[in-house]
Structure 1
Amino acid sequence: MNEEIARRLSEAAEAHRPDRARMLARVQRGMAGPAVRHRARPFARSGTRVALAGLAATGILTTGGLAVAAIVAKSSPSATVTTPAPSSPTAGSPHPTSARPTPVAPAPVTTPGSARPTPPATSPSPTPTAGESRNGPLWSAGSVDPRSNVYWTQSDVALKTTQPLTSLTVEIRIVQTGGVKSTGTWQTLPSGDFTVTIQEAGGTLVYRWVLKPGLTVPAGSHEFAAQFNNGTGGNGTGVRGAAGDGYRVDAQGSGGSASVRGGFVPTR
């Protein structure tokens, strides 16, 4: 009896061709509508028919469930997750980012026909002014003191020596332009070491410093100044020019004698 039932179930399962469309429609109607109550069948049927019906129903439901699952799987496309690409900053972005530029060293300047780079131009060394002079261990420069004005003038002589001096004479000559009158002298070395005289001869006011015998001027920088009132002379504006003025320095040291001379250059 059991083998007969199994054979019939197998034949019924092989011969069954489920209608997928009808099953899907029934499933959808069942999900949308209210639950339908089935009438209970009387238990008067034989046990064999009940068992066969149960097994057949089980096979039908199993096959139908698989068919519905396959239809649902085919009808509903799988969701695709898309990762957005990072957006590059534009000119309108609130916080655009950009790579830091790499500094580039300027290329050396080359002259035509030469492979060697031309060095950058350098400022030329200052040329001596009209009031500068060099000789042996001596260097000198004459200038009009910037504190001078239309009424009063101070003419300065800067003197440098690289070795001690056993004899020194400094002379400043100021052209008499009309009413020029001396108001004194000034020097950085001790005034007691020099004999200072101021004389006017041949239309020139002469200031002279002479080192006293037995004394020595040390190596280094020193300064001598002649001060005077301008008087009535000038160039029409009340300013006195120093074009005709000049100085001279004569010295003696261990290396022999040396002399420097020059004029006075305005410093303003």
Structure 2
Amino acid sequence: MVSSIYQHFRPEEKEFIDQVLQWRREAAEMYVPKLTDFLDPREQEIVQSVVGTHNDAVVFFFGGTDPSERKRAYICPDYFAPKEKDFDIVLYELNYPDKFVTITHPQVLGSLMGLGLRRGKFGDILTDGQVIQFIAAKEVSSYIELNFHHVGKAAVTLRQIGYDQAIRQEEEWKEVSVTVSSLRLDAIITAFTKQSRQKAQAAIKGGLVKVNWKQQENPALECTEGDVLSIRGAGRVKISTIDGKTKKEKWRIILGVIK
């Protein structure tokens, strides 16, 4: 049964799958619920697939808002259903001199990571272009409040707010049909960005490309249906459907592109 789970995922995801299997066993056999760090959508998919194949444990996800991309998972015996407060999530809004300073999403993330905490302790960073909020795990909230005072050169203060005050950021996707010579990462990026294969390879080798939220530096990586690619400076694209080959032996694929 376990070996059949691995075949649905990439080899490098085996360690995380093993961790999820351990969480499921603890929830099902020892009746010990497991609250995870914030997971990216790919990790959530793995957790759902692994836990969802059994009837003795269930998993719930919450990230502070319904559209949240990064969410914590709560794995527990099948007779229990957690409430929002059980996910131990806090939402902060930044106060800063916005008339004189511009703060960006990458700057906020960089400053948070500069505190020495794992990425898994932070959820989404939300902004409407002026107001900036971020979501964090409650267990590190005191540490954040004591140490998070600057973003770049701008002094900031934090205000904890309720989930109902979160900025709503819902992504809209449109579908685009393309043909590619192969399902290699560099070929798909070439089709998406309309740049040369050489530029696509340079971006990959330069650490500018992520596949399923993990940096990928292998241009020859074979992509599969459901993979999400993000290219710094070009945006994000999802391989929605692989429709097979054309008469000229090219692959016809449907890409989901953020509008």
Calculate the TM-score normalised by the size of structure 1.
0.19
User: Which of these two proteins has the greater Rg computed from alpha carbons?
Assistant: 1
Higher fraction of helix: 2
Q: Which has the higher contact order (CA 8 A, sep 6+)?
A: 1
